[in-house]
Amino acid sequence: MANRLTKIYTRTGDDGSTGMADGTRVAKDDLLVHVIGEVDELNSQLAVVACHTADNFSESIKTIQNELFNIGAELTLGQVMIKQENIDRLEKNLDELNQSLAPLKEFILPGGGLAASHCHVARAICRRIERSLVSLDKRAFLNKYLKAYVNRLSDYLFVLARAISKTEGKDEVYWQSERLRK
């Protein structure tokens, strides 16, 4: 890879705009820029999850992080990068993780240890991305697999949080409905 960034600051964004991969400039508060930023936030949160969890989860997390970069590229360039095969892989991994977990009979609260809690934060960020993609799709046609992937990813992150808790021997905390406590 050639040196792409020889200088980190350019001063071109001082006016409130940011450069896109195709060379155009867009306002930093544009919905597209928000979504790209949210994807970056999720990727960073997954790095925190990877730092605090067992190595057996790191390969799937790295794969997802690379796919999140592909999502950013797709949003920036408009080229389809997320396909059905990405969703299929995620579903396969989700099913494998879920097989080892006890069926849920109640809602669980975010928690279950440090790594699992960070994973729940990642899941919440992913849900925000999903909402933002729905809004963006009203303005510009999005690849149908993109929204499906992000939807499935939030499911995967929920199951991953549960699997991390189990691996670490941490208890899940069940929601105590006010209605049920009376």
pTM of the model: 0.90
Instruction: State how far the Cα of 126 lies from the Cα of 132, in Å rounded to an integer.
Output: 10
pLDDT digits (tens, 9 = 90+) for 82-93: 999 999 999 999
Beta bridge partners of 173: 109
Q: Which residue has the tokens 């095969």?
A: 85
Percent of the chain with pLDDT over 90: 69
CATH architecture of 19-181: Up-down Bundle (1.20)
What is the overall mean pLDDT for the chain? Answer: 91
pLDDT band at 150 (very low <50, low <70, confident <90, very high): very high
By the 10 Å C-beta count (0-12 exposed, 13-18 middle, 19+ buried), 113 is classed as buried
Q: What is the pLDDT of residue 5?
A: 63
Q: Contact, 159 vs 97, CB < 8 A?
A: yes
- Residue 100: how many CB atoms within 10 A of its CB? 11
Q: What is the pLDDT of residue 61?
A: 97
User: Above 60 in pLDDT, residue 2?
Assistant: no
Percent of the chain with pLDDT over 70: 94
More confident residue, 147 or 6: 147
Q: What is the mean pLDDT of residues 65-74?
A: 96
Q: Return the domain boundaries, the chain.
A: 19-181
In 3D, which of 143, 163, 137, 152 has the Cα closest to residue 56? Answer: 163
Distance of CA 102 to the CA centre of its chain: 24
Q: Who contacts 31 (Cβ-Cβ below 8 Å, separation ≥6)?
A: 132, 135, 136, 139
- Residue 61: how many CB atoms within 10 A of its CB? 20
Q: What is the mean pLDDT of residues 118-125?
A: 98
User: Above 90 in pLDDT, residue 19?
Assistant: no
User: Above 70 in pLDDT, residue 21?
Assistant: yes
Backbone angles phi, psi at 78, to 5 degrees: 80, 10
